[in-house]
Amino acid sequence: MASTNYSCSQPELYVICRKGWDLCETQLPAFTAYKQKYSPAFVVENQTMINAADAMYDSRARYATAQNLRIDLVDKKDDVLEVFQLLKGYIEDAYRSDKAKTMIQAAGQQFYVKSSACNWVSVSAMLSAMAPFVTNNLADLTANNNMPADFATQIQTLKTEFDALYKSWSEADIAAYNETEEKVLANNGIFNNLKTMLADAQKVFRKDEAMALKFTWDDLMAQVRGTRPSGINVKTINGANKKAVGNVKLTFTDIDMVVTTDADGLAKITDIPIGKYTLVIEAEGFETITMKKYEVKVNVFNRLIVKLAAVPTVATV
């Protein structure tokens, strides 16, 4: 069985892939400028592959027929074991104890334990042993009104029914296995295509960090799982005396976001996308701080303590 290349559920995979290719479609001119294969038809082709993979039966639907047939097989196996016990009783009445033991073995006793554990080959083998045994020893078994004359027919009918049921189950189980294999391969295909596109996007948007970030598996996954936005808990203090400094302005220049701490120097930022930013921190009477490539990660609340340094006092003569 092929293994999956992706680390998410199937429904998540389809949503993530659709989001990824929808995003690619919005930036198609940039992709086309990098590689000619990125065309409207190419995007549609990948979207069609996603829909085709999604439309395949899930595992429960695929194995439903096989599972129901297996339930019937278990019931039929119980019938076989019950019939063998009846035959064993007929043998014990028809032969002396020293001979009966040998005859019971010849009738299929050696397959009984494995048959009880749903070993279908053993069940079939037990039936294959019982049917000719009864036919070959019919006179001894039916003597003295012991075994009913139609018992041999019952065994043959049971064998025919079991063999047909076993064949149907085997075919259904193999078909389900093959369909599962096809489903995994189809899912791996759309995942691999998406990852290739995302890798190309990193080259296309190498000078645009914010856009490049949108074309990442983690960012798409975060959107689907509802883990966005990430956030920052900020505390601004005077680096000299550790006291809180309020009304400090924090500007994320890349996305034109401005946040101001409260009177206690606290701010909780929850509406910022994941990514790397240039953060400018300003407060009256304190030196301005510029933090480059400050990173906000997926589903993580950063704790940022900003230590401000007072603007030096210029001595007067």
Position of tokens 């190309």? 200
Helix (H), strand (E) at residue 80: helix 59-94
Residue with the bigger pLDDT between 41 and 314: it is 41
Q: Which residue segment(s) compose the domain that 278 sits in?
A: 229-308
pLDDT of residue 276: 82
* Co-location of 108 and 164 in the same domain: yes
pLDDT at 48 over 90: yes
* Co-location of 234 and 273 in the same domain: yes
Burial of 107 (0-12, 13-18, 19+ CB in 10 A): buried
Domain final residue, candidates 226, 245, 271 = 226
pLDDT at 39 over 90: yes
Among candidates 221, 194, 193, 189, which has minimal Cα distance to 53? 189
> Does residue 1 form part of some domain?
no
pLDDT at 51 over 90: yes
Domain final residue, candidates 226, 242, 277 = 226
pLDDT of residue 272: 79
* Co-location of 249 and 195 in the same domain: no
Mean pLDDT along residues 40-61? 89
* Co-location of 222 and 234 in the same domain: no
Residues 153-195: pLDDT tens digits?
999 999 999 999 999 999 988 888 888 889 899 999 999 999 9
Residues 109-131: pLDDT tens digits?
999 999 999 999 999 999 999 99
Percent of the chain with pLDDT over 70: 94
Residues 226-277: pLDDT tens digits?
655 568 899 999 999 999 999 999 999 888 889 999 999 999 987 777 778 8
Whole-model pTM: value is 0.54
pLDDT of residue 273: 75
* Co-location of 196 and 73 in the same domain: yes
Three-class DSSP category at 249: strand
* Co-location of 167 and 266 in the same domain: no
> Does residue 148 form part of some domain?
yes
pLDDT of residue 293: 85
pLDDT at 314 over 70: no
> Does residue 313 form part of some domain?
no
Write the DSSP assignment of 108-157 as a string of letters: TGGGHHHHHTT-HHHHHHHHHHHHHHHHHTHHHHHGGG-S-TTHHHHHHH
How far is Cα 247 from Cα 262, in angstroms, rounded to an integer? Answer: 6
The H-assigned helical ranges of 205-267 are: 209-214, 217-225
Distance between first and last Cα of the chain: 85
Mean pLDDT along residues 283-295? 91
Domain final residue, candidates 226, 247, 278 = 226
* Co-location of 148 and 23 in the same domain: yes
Q: 110-133 burial string, b = 16+ CB within 10 Å, else e?
A: ebbeebeeeebebbbbbbebbbeb
Using an 8 Å Cβ cutoff, are 193 and 13 in contact? no
pLDDT of residue 173: 87
The count of domains in the chain is 2
